[in-house]
Structure 1
Amino acid sequence: MPSRRRSRRTRRISLPTLLVIVLAVAIWVYLYGPEGTSSEAGDGWFPPGPSAAASDAPVHRAPIDPATLDPDLAALVVAGPSSTSPYDRELFGAAWADVDGNGCDTRNDVLIRDLVDLVFRADSNGCIVRTGTLHDPYTGAVISFTRGPDTSEAVQIDHMVPLSYAWQHGASTWTDAQRAAFANDPANLSAVDGPANQSKSDSGPAEWMPPRGEYACTYVDRFAGVLLAYGLTIAPEDLDAIAAVDAGCPA
């Protein structure tokens, strides 16, 4: 009898199934792939040198030490709102632009500076913070940051001198380029607790102060320092609030 050959059917993966698999792998690598550089110190600054050049790693801003600020409050110019034109965020340029050309947007620059235990997105060349920990200066809380549509808002970037405040106290006369530089100046930015930032909104020191009292001296120093650096005026009630705090600060 002639032998019977058992026919074998080749299993083929359909194109739609293959595309689903490829997409799933891509998403996994994007979210959970090789981790980027972590920062133990948390300042995110990498001094230029052979290792940085070899890897083309971005050089981030050196951390700012607000404690070194000692603004001359007597030099502040007191004035009420100076602009009759309504404030518009777009007048300060695109949010979180890469104004310093280091390859990272301003929001991530500040996260890198202010957070610790950083983990970067694998494909971001050390720019996009995926996770980290914030020791919040405003509340004293320790906040775990995870990048995502439902989690990123736990840590927000606060303009120490709000953009709308700056608009009313001199920025309305600036050029677009000057306003964009101000909106992205790290001296006026801090990574903070999201709800605290929302509570502050566009308030000056007379209306809002950090819930953590230990930070009040640094807060008013930075607020006044930014006004002086940019030639902005201050509302009389805000100067009174700053002076009251400053009177109790260490010399």
Structure 2
Amino acid sequence: MSSRSSRPVIAVVLGVAVLAGVGWCAEAEKGTDFPSATGGDDSSQAVTSVSTPPEGSPDFDPAPAPAPEPAPGEPGDPAVPEAPAPGGDPLVPPARAALGQLEVKGRAPKTGYDRDLFGQAWSDDVGVEFGRNGCDTRNDILRRDLQEHTFRPGTRDCVVLTGVLNGPYTGERIEFQRGQDTSSLVQIDHVVALSDSWQKGAQQLTVEQRRDLANDPLNLLAVSGRANQQKGDGDTATWLPPRREFWCSYVSRQVLVKERYGLWVTQAERDAMDRVLSGC
């Protein structure tokens, strides 16, 4: 074939090739998927395009901002409460420290004990808290420990007429009403009984120190009269309140009172105190 006759054929072939190329590009612009070089679907490389409505339109819902990481030392979830600190009564730690400092000795004879050796009952003439405030000690403690109390008019809120006691020794609710037949339902207990203190060092105290001991609010609690009578002059080794939840507070007060007034403990008493406080 001559070169002149082959030229039209070459032109036709080139035209077909150009048209085929244009068609391939058009299909690619339409988003036609093509197999990967390996011949299979490569879903890990596929990209999905998501259109977001313009800001301000009803369908606009911006993605939430990532939550900030908690700062070092802060809890990650503030809704989770922290464990409560042990020993809720603030008297427990100093009592633990003081227990080891108490002298351990045998009980002295009760010979010569008399309540009058500790001064007039509920005297206001003392050098401890509430002393010389114009109210007697019994009413000071009733006012401190009772709730919903009322007072006799004209006594400057000194004489408590009624009130409610949540008995620390028993947990019972006691309605207090001042009167000859009702006052004894609530009694003021000497946490360290005066007789016990007499047998463990109070004989060596001055009259003023014994009077303070008998009226010291640290050594006094408003309690159920029945529980107070059951206790008598027992120490930690022989009596503890029926309500176990109050043991830590009760024993802590005994330890701190004995430390304050230089009283000693027996070995059995110290061991009992240690057992209670070790569980607080």
Q: Give the alignment's TM-score, normalised by structure 1.
A: 0.71
TM alignment of 1:112-191, pairs within 5 A: 112-191=143-222
Partner of 1:195: 226
Instruction: String of CA shifts for 1:74-115, please: whole Å, max 9, x gaps.
Output: 111111123563210000001011121111000000000000
Indicate whether 1:88 and 2:119 are aligned: no
Contact kept? 1:83, 1:169, Cα under 8 Å:
no
Tell me, yes or no, if the aligned pair for 1:83 and 1:172 is still in contact at 8 Å. Answer: no
Give 1 or 2 for the bigger CA radius of gyration: 2
Question: What is the aligned partner in structure 2 of residue 238 from structure 1?
Answer: 269
Q: Could you tell me how far 1:68 is from its partner in structure 2?
A: 1.4
Q: Secondary structure at the match of 1:68?
A: coil
Corresponding position of 1:67? 89
Partner of 1:112, secondary structure, is helix
Q: Distance in 1 between matches of 2:110 and 2:139?
A: 34
Write the letter of the residue equivalent to 2:142: L
Does residue 242 of structure 2 align to residue 211 of structure 1? yes
- Counterpart CA distance in 2 for 1:172 and 1:81 is 12
SS in 2 for 1:144: strand
Contact 1:158 1:197 in 2 (8 A): yes
- Which whole-Å CA distance do the structure 1 matches of 2:246 and 2:191 have between them? 13
1:207 aligned counterpart, secondary structure = coil
Which residues in structure 2 correspond to 1:9-28 (within 5 Å)? none
Instruction: Report SS of the residue matched to 1:133.
Output: strand
In structure 1, what is the Cα distance between the partners aligned to 2:209 and 2:278?
Answer: 33
Q: Which amino acid aligns with 2:208?
A: A
- Which SS does the other structure have where 1:67 is aligned? coil
One-letter amino acid of the structure 2 residue matched with residue 116 of structure 1 = Q
Does the Cα contact within 8 Å between 2:119 and 2:207 map onto a contact in 1?
yes
SS in 2 for 1:75: coil
Cα pair distance change 1:173/1:131, threshold 3 Å: same
CA contact (8 A) 2:110 2:195 kept: no
Q: CA RMSD in A?
A: 1.3
Q: CA deviation at 1:138?
A: 0.4
Q: CA deviation at 1:123?
A: 2.5
| 1:132/1:144 contact within 8 Å kept | yes
Matches of 1:127 and 1:195 in 2, distance apart? 25
Which residue type is aligned with residue 238 of structure 2? E
Q: Aligned in 2, Cα 1:84/1:195: closer, same or farther, shift over 3 Å?
A: closer
Matches within 5 A, 1:40-79: 67-69=89-91, 70=93, 71=95, 72=97, 73-79=99-105
Separation (CA, whole Å) in 2 of partners of 1:106 and 1:201: 20
Counterpart-to-counterpart distance in 2, 1:235 and 1:143: 34
Structure 1 segments of 4+ aligned residues over 6 angstroms from their partners = none
Counterpart residue type for residue 278 of structure 2: A
Task: Return 5+ residue gaps in structure 2 as ranges.
Answer: 1-87, 126-130
**Structure 1 unaligned spans of 5+:** 1-65
Amino acid paired to 1:186: P
Cα distance, 1:193 vs structure 2: 0.5
So what's the TM-score if we normalise by structure 2?
A: 0.64
